[in-house]
Amino acid sequence: MNTTVLQRIDALPHVVLHVQHRELPAAHLRTVYAAADAAIVARTATAGKESGLVADAANHGVALLVSTPDADLAGRLRGRPWARVLRVGDAAELAAALDGPLPARPHPGAATEVGLMSPAAALARFTTLAGLQPRPMGNDHLRAGKPSSKPCVLHAQLHS
């Protein structure tokens, strides 16, 4: 993670920044999303496609600030009231976005409207890819405390 960018974000008024460099259990990750005003998905120009973190935030009802080299994803998110697409690598634009009004929270189904998977669709896809038998989508798998592989930040989700 770029410490200079994190310091600039932390210095903004009304921003509380907590960085955790570890995997989080699913229940903890849901708590982080619930407490967040927005999720930041910031990618470098050399990063590959990114939609997992974007889908997670949208499916959890968290507004998005996104900088991605994926022109297709950026195009699908532009103009959505719950997402703001930023220029890749522009720390000043990110700081200004955090200092101004944040996008609205996404409505249920917002992720699927832009072609991203819902939690049920993701579970079905990965279950099939793993060669496992599908099981009913309930909350049991969420209460199991299975770790997430995503490092996270309160008020901003960053992935290195």
CA angle 48, 149, 85 (to 5 degrees): 45
pLDDT above 90: percentage of residues in the chain: 16
Phi, psi of 39 (to 5 degrees): -115, 135
8 pLDDT more than 90: no
pTM, rounded to two decimals:
0.65
Q: So what's the pLDDT on residue 136?
A: 53
Higher pLDDT, 105 or 159: 105
Each residue of 63-116: pLDDT tens digit?
999 988 888 888 999 999 999 999 888 889 988 998 889 999 999 889 889 988
